Amino acid sequence: MTVKYKINELFQTIQGEGAFTGQPSIFIRLQGCPVGCSWCDTKHTWEIDPSLVISSTDLLNKKQESEHWSQLSADDMVKLFKLQNYSARHIVITGGEPCMVDLTPLCDTFESLGYSCQIETSGTFEIKTSKNCWVTVSPKVNMKGGYAILNSAMQRANEIKHPVATEQHVDDLKALLSEHNITDKPIYLQPISQKQRATELAIQTCIENNWRLSIQVHKYIGIE
């Protein structure tokens, strides 16, 4: 049975966050997320409304953010990559919350064709993916949706990328790392909304803890 995924966006750009900053990438943004982050910049991906299904052609022709989504298989997406002449060989699967569904068939298909895969997740759902997929957990603590961060997600993470604006966010991260006994993974702090105070806090905290800074390069240079 062919697995179909609910896709809000599909586009080629430069990865602007975390360990793969600067990497040409194909972004696949899935529809659906119940986590409820107050600062989320993709709230148009939260709800799954069956009346808003569109064709793959309309998906590629989107000119602005919307709640419209298309239902595509991995093979459908590969055909679109070729149709669009995408040259990137790294795929970023994000959302929404991509780990609401089993991503193993999707990543297996892409990897069999020579692509590398990366998932960006809140860590609130079990991560089902291929062994070689790079997993970025951006833990969302005490969000409106009430979901807990799963230990299985923290252990599977290849990197942990935490949004920060206040000292409380730093304290939350330290508590989370201690709770799940995380001592050997790359830790990135990402200032929320590029605000100066948040950026200064992130820089100082990274220096103090020997963590890394992720500044959402794509937003500073004005690309998607």
CATH number for the domain that contains residue 57: 3.20.20.70
- 137-165: pLDDT as tens digits: 999 888 888 899 999 999 999 999 999 99
69 is in an annotated binding site: no
User: For residue 84, what are its two tokens?
Assistant: 């669009």
Contacts of 173 (CB under 8 A, 6+ apart): 139, 141, 160, 162, 164, 187, 189
Overall average pLDDT of the 163-174 stretch: 94
39 is in an annotated binding site: yes
Q: Give the count of domains, the chain.
A: 1
Under DSSP, is residue 46 helix (H, G, I), strand (E, B) or coil? coil
Residue 175 domain-assigned (yes or no): no
197 is in an annotated binding site: no
Residue 204 domain-assigned (yes or no): no
The model's confidence at residue 101, banded by pLDDT at 50, 70 and 90, is very high
The predicted pLDDT at position 120 comes to 97
37 is in an annotated binding site: yes
114 is in an annotated binding site: no
42 is in an annotated binding site: yes
Share of residues in the chain with pLDDT > 70 (%)? 97
Q: Which domain holds residue 84?
A: 5-162
133 is in an annotated binding site: no
98 is in an annotated binding site: no
192 is in an annotated binding site: no
Question: What's the mean pLDDT when you consider all of the chain?
Answer: 94
211 is in an annotated binding site: no
Residue 222 has pLDDT above 90, yes or no: no
The predicted pLDDT at position 10 comes to 97
The predicted pLDDT at position 224 comes to 66
Residue 27 has pLDDT above 90, yes or no: yes
Cα separation, 178 vs 190, in Å, equals 20
Q: Judge whether 133 and 107 are in contact, CB under 8 Å.
A: yes
40 is in an annotated binding site: yes
Residue 124 domain-assigned (yes or no): yes
41 is in an annotated binding site: yes
Residue with tokens 């148009």: 44
The predicted pLDDT at position 174 comes to 97
The pTM assigned to this predicted structure is 0.94
Residue 183 domain-assigned (yes or no): no
Residue 9 domain-assigned (yes or no): yes
User: For residue 66, what are its two tokens?
Assistant: 């919307």
Residue 177 has pLDDT above 90, yes or no: yes
- 40-94: pLDDT as tens digits: 889 999 999 999 999 999 999 998 999 999 999 999 999 999 999 999 999 999 9
96 is in an annotated binding site: yes
